[in-house]
Structure 1
Amino acid sequence: MATFMDVHHGMSGITEEQLRAAHQADLAIEGDEGVHFQQAWADPESGTVYCLSTAPSKEAVQRVHERSGHPADEIHPVPLMV
């Protein structure tokens, strides 16, 4: 399994409750694609949301996000972590 960081733009003003709901929507269906979303972060001022996941591919990450109603604008592999 690879690690991915995905980025969503255009979510200005997102609240903690909205971020939690979006993350839960991903968690509810992630197993269908073999994805595990580990954590999500948001900057309400810039409208940027970040999600860290492990998955078989970035396409699998995108399929989960699309099905849950918030496709990612960017998905980056994270080959090194400390």
Structure 2
Amino acid sequence: MTEYMDVHRGMKGITNEELREAHRADQAIEGEEGVRFKHAWADPESGTVYCLSEGPSAEAVQRVHSRTGHPADEIHPVRWTV
């Protein structure tokens, strides 16, 4: 499985609870696409949200996000971590 970092824009003012709700919504259906959402981070001032996941493809990650109402603007494979 590959790890992916995705970026969501336009979420200015997102609260911690809204981020948690969005993350839980993804986790509720992630298994249907073979994805596992690991972490999410948000900067409410810029409206940028980042999600780290693991899955079979960027398309599978996007399908989950789209079904839960917050499609990603960018999805990047993470090849190495330290």
TM over 0.5: yes
Deviation of 1:69 after TM superposition, in Å, equals 0.5
Structure 2 counterpart of 1:72: 72
Structure 1 counterpart of 2:39: 39
Misfit runs of 4+, over 3 Å: none
Structure 1 counterpart of 2:3: 3
| CA RMSD in angstroms, aligned pairs only | 0.3
Structure 2 counterpart of 1:61: 61
Deviation of 1:44 after TM superposition, in Å, equals 0.1
Fraction of identical pairs, as percent: 73
**Gaps spanning 5+ residues in structure 2: where?**
none
Taking structure 1 as the reference length, the TM-score comes to: 0.99
Taking structure 2 as the reference length, the TM-score comes to: 0.99
Structure 2 counterpart of 1:48: 48
Aligned pair count reads 82
**Gaps spanning 5+ residues in structure 1: where?**
none
